[in-house]
A and B are shown apart, each in its own frame.
Chain A
Amino acid sequence: MILVSMAAGFLLILMGLYGALTNRNILRMIVAFTIASTGVNLVLVSVGYLAGRTAPILDAAVPVADAAERIIDPVPQALVLTAIVIGLGITALMLAYAFKLYETKRTLDISKFTELKG
């Protein structure tokens, strides 16, 4: 199960990277990056998963006393939450950029924005 989710995560990352590096369209690139970061998140979660344990939420179902035995590692979960938030921020920023870029040149082709080089 862990293996499957991890493999799926890496697959998504590779797909995302492939998409980002091959698509000229800025929006497609952004989407590809989103896919990749989803993959990353998947990998993060699957690294923290321990077979047969429950989510690291300390409530009535999981008393504090034996939490260490029954929950999975909470740290990756926390990381994923943060990563998702940050990913969202960056995606938003990129989209804003995409909008602005489109306004300046009326195109979304990344290879058209090469005034700066060398």
Chain B
Amino acid sequence: MEAFVKPGEKNRLKERPERPVKQELQPRVVKTPDGQEITVEPLKDYYCEAPPRVHPPAYAKIVEDLFNWARAESLWILGFGTGCGAIEMRPLMTPRFDAYRYGIQWRPTPRQANLFVISGYLSVKTLKRAIRSYEQMQNPKYVVGLGSCTINGGMYWDSYNTIKRLDRYLPVDLYITGCMPRPEALLAGFLELKKIIKAGKGEGANRYAENFDWYKANQKQVIHDWDMPDYSW
């Protein structure tokens, strides 16, 4: 069972015992070419350990409005189908729906995408990947939950292996209901998202950074082998 913790509230559940760190992440002693022995700590040496930063709007309102307009009109979706809802994403590229008309395009790498559509239920295993991908996107970035499963678990509400409420793990900007929502619904959702962004309310990335500890605690409750520094840069 998931325990629900509000932002800022202390986690009431007992801490689970830490799993042992994976072998490849444990500190290891290696011999340098000149014969010295040094210790390599992969978690420290290979990953950036900095926490995420809050990037508040920095410019005059008129400039920010322009930027927000641009952000809204140029939604680059991360091409990552997380659940069965992904099947509803594809028709958006077809002549019938042609989401490109609305400035919606797909990017294969999170670095270049700014909209993450969580398409349907998220198994814990996929959640881990989804979080990593989300963290690797650049601020500002938006999350859309697609279908009932992301809202309340949907038909998997009692599953041992899926999460029930997406917004406990990622800062969701918009949910699109339905099981499955049709592509038209998606389009409507995206247009709604544009409004949110244009209104300057699409600050999920900053929310995530501000409440990072809370999100991370929630995430670690279900993901027991995060195996990385907290923030995946």
Instruction: Report A-B touching, CB under 8 Å.
Output: no
Q: Which residues of B are interface residues toward A (Cβ below 8 A)?
A: none
Q: Which residues of A are interface residues toward B (Cβ below 8 A)?
A: none
